[in-house]
Amino acid sequence: MIVSGAGKVLAVGPKSMGISSFAGFLASLGVPLPAVAAWGVGLVELVGGFLLLVGLFVRITGSLIAIIMFVAMVAVHLPNGYPSSSGGIEYTLTLVLLALAVVLSGPGALSLERALFDEEVLTSGTGRSMRAD
Protein backbone atom coordinates (compact mmCIF):
# COMPACT_ATOMS: atom_id res chain seq x y z
CA MET A 1 0.00 0.00 0.00
CA ILE A 2 2.75 2.44 0.92
CA VAL A 3 4.55 1.97 -2.39
CA SER A 4 1.36 2.42 -4.41
CA GLY A 5 0.34 5.45 -2.36
CA ALA A 6 3.77 7.04 -2.70
CA GLY A 7 3.61 6.52 -6.45
CA LYS A 8 0.25 8.27 -6.62
CA VAL A 9 0.80 11.10 -4.12
CA LEU A 10 4.54 11.75 -4.41
CA ALA A 11 5.19 10.38 -7.92
CA VAL A 12 8.12 8.30 -6.67
CA GLY A 13 9.00 4.64 -6.68
CA PRO A 14 8.29 1.75 -9.02
CA LYS A 15 4.59 2.67 -9.30
CA SER A 16 5.08 6.41 -9.80
CA MET A 17 2.33 8.13 -11.74
CA GLY A 18 1.44 11.23 -9.71
CA ILE A 19 -1.96 12.58 -8.78
CA SER A 20 -2.68 14.23 -12.12
CA SER A 21 -2.02 11.04 -14.11
CA PHE A 22 -4.01 8.95 -11.65
CA ALA A 23 -6.87 11.46 -11.75
CA GLY A 24 -6.82 11.24 -15.55
CA PHE A 25 -7.00 7.46 -15.33
CA LEU A 26 -9.95 7.68 -12.94
CA ALA A 27 -11.66 10.18 -15.26
CA SER A 28 -11.27 7.73 -18.15
CA LEU A 29 -13.15 5.17 -16.03
CA GLY A 30 -15.96 7.64 -15.45
CA VAL A 31 -15.24 8.18 -11.75
CA PRO A 32 -16.96 11.37 -10.55
CA LEU A 33 -14.65 14.06 -9.12
CA PRO A 34 -11.53 12.22 -10.27
CA ALA A 35 -9.05 14.63 -8.65
CA VAL A 36 -10.74 14.28 -5.25
CA ALA A 37 -10.94 10.51 -5.66
CA ALA A 38 -7.27 10.38 -6.69
CA TRP A 39 -6.18 12.28 -3.58
CA GLY A 40 -8.44 10.13 -1.39
CA VAL A 41 -7.14 6.85 -2.77
CA GLY A 42 -3.52 8.00 -2.76
CA LEU A 43 -3.64 9.24 0.82
CA VAL A 44 -5.45 6.15 2.08
CA GLU A 45 -2.85 3.94 0.43
CA LEU A 46 0.11 5.99 1.65
CA VAL A 47 -1.01 6.91 5.18
CA GLY A 48 -3.17 3.81 5.62
CA GLY A 49 -0.30 1.54 4.62
CA PHE A 50 1.89 3.16 7.25
CA LEU A 51 -0.87 2.92 9.88
CA LEU A 52 -1.32 -0.79 9.16
CA LEU A 53 2.43 -1.31 9.31
CA VAL A 54 2.65 0.11 12.83
CA GLY A 55 -0.75 -1.21 13.92
CA LEU A 56 -2.70 1.97 14.57
CA PHE A 57 -6.40 2.46 13.72
CA VAL A 58 -6.25 -1.00 12.18
CA ARG A 59 -9.95 -1.74 11.70
CA ILE A 60 -10.77 1.65 10.17
CA THR A 61 -7.74 1.61 7.89
CA GLY A 62 -8.40 -1.98 6.85
CA SER A 63 -12.00 -1.09 6.02
CA LEU A 64 -10.96 1.84 3.82
CA ILE A 65 -8.36 -0.26 2.02
CA ALA A 66 -10.86 -3.10 1.49
CA ILE A 67 -13.33 -0.65 -0.09
CA ILE A 68 -10.70 0.92 -2.35
CA MET A 69 -9.38 -2.46 -3.48
CA PHE A 70 -12.90 -3.79 -4.08
CA VAL A 71 -13.71 -0.80 -6.31
CA ALA A 72 -10.40 -1.25 -8.17
CA MET A 73 -11.12 -4.96 -8.58
CA VAL A 74 -14.58 -4.37 -10.05
CA ALA A 75 -13.87 -1.23 -12.09
CA VAL A 76 -10.45 -2.09 -13.49
CA HIS A 77 -9.53 -5.75 -13.12
CA LEU A 78 -12.79 -7.70 -13.45
CA PRO A 79 -13.03 -7.33 -17.25
CA ASN A 80 -9.60 -9.02 -17.51
CA GLY A 81 -10.67 -12.25 -15.82
CA TYR A 82 -8.98 -13.92 -12.88
CA PRO A 83 -5.22 -14.33 -13.45
CA SER A 84 -3.11 -11.40 -12.35
CA SER A 85 -0.76 -12.11 -15.26
CA SER A 86 -3.48 -10.79 -17.58
CA GLY A 87 -4.44 -7.89 -15.30
CA GLY A 88 -7.26 -9.85 -13.70
CA ILE A 89 -8.73 -9.81 -10.21
CA GLU A 90 -6.39 -12.33 -8.57
CA TYR A 91 -4.14 -9.78 -6.82
CA THR A 92 -6.81 -7.23 -5.93
CA LEU A 93 -9.11 -9.98 -4.62
CA THR A 94 -6.26 -11.14 -2.39
CA LEU A 95 -5.81 -7.57 -1.10
CA VAL A 96 -9.55 -7.25 -0.40
CA LEU A 97 -9.59 -10.52 1.54
CA LEU A 98 -6.45 -9.61 3.48
CA ALA A 99 -7.87 -6.20 4.38
CA LEU A 100 -11.09 -7.85 5.56
CA ALA A 101 -9.08 -10.30 7.65
CA VAL A 102 -7.31 -7.35 9.29
CA VAL A 103 -10.68 -5.69 9.96
CA LEU A 104 -12.02 -8.86 11.58
CA SER A 105 -8.91 -9.65 13.62
CA GLY A 106 -8.07 -6.10 14.72
CA PRO A 107 -4.76 -4.93 16.08
CA GLY A 108 -2.41 -7.59 17.34
CA ALA A 109 -0.61 -7.81 20.66
CA LEU A 110 2.48 -6.10 19.24
CA SER A 111 0.58 -3.24 17.57
CA LEU A 112 1.19 0.38 18.45
CA GLU A 113 -2.51 0.68 19.23
CA ARG A 114 -2.25 -1.92 22.01
CA ALA A 115 1.09 -0.58 23.25
CA LEU A 116 -0.12 3.02 23.56
CA PHE A 117 -3.72 2.54 24.66
CA ASP A 118 -3.75 -1.02 26.05
CA GLU A 119 -6.92 -1.56 24.00
CA GLU A 120 -8.37 -0.75 20.62
CA VAL A 121 -9.18 2.85 19.93
CA LEU A 122 -12.26 4.02 18.05
CA THR A 123 -14.20 0.82 18.66
CA SER A 124 -17.89 0.51 19.43
CA GLY A 125 -19.44 2.72 22.12
CA THR A 126 -18.75 0.25 24.92
CA GLY A 127 -15.12 1.36 25.16
CA ARG A 128 -14.15 -2.30 25.06
CA SER A 129 -12.33 -4.14 22.35
CA MET A 130 -14.39 -6.17 19.91
CA ARG A 131 -11.75 -8.87 20.22
CA ALA A 132 -11.81 -11.46 22.98
CA ASP A 133 -8.54 -11.38 24.93
Same domain (yes/no): 122, 74:
yes
In this prediction, residue 62 carries a pLDDT of: 97
In this prediction, residue 68 carries a pLDDT of: 97
In this prediction, residue 120 carries a pLDDT of: 86
| 133 residues of the chain, pLDDT tens digit each | 999 999 999 999 998 999 999 999 999 999 999 999 999 999 999 999 999 999 999 999 999 999 999 999 999 999 999 999 999 999 999 999 999 999 999 999 899 999 998 888 877 655 454 554 4
Same domain (yes/no): 112, 82:
yes
In this prediction, residue 119 carries a pLDDT of: 83
Same domain (yes/no): 81, 40:
no
Same domain (yes/no): 50, 66:
no
Same domain (yes/no): 60, 40:
no
Same domain (yes/no): 112, 83:
yes
CA-based angle 114:108:113, to the nearest 5?
Answer: 25
Same domain (yes/no): 12, 25:
yes
In this prediction, residue 122 carries a pLDDT of: 75
Same domain (yes/no): 35, 66:
no
* Contact between residue 52 and residue 102 where contact means Cβ atoms under 8 Å apart: yes
- Residue 133 CB burial class (10 angstroms; 0-12, 13-18, ≥19): exposed
User: What domain count does the chain have?
Assistant: 2
In this prediction, residue 126 carries a pLDDT of: 53
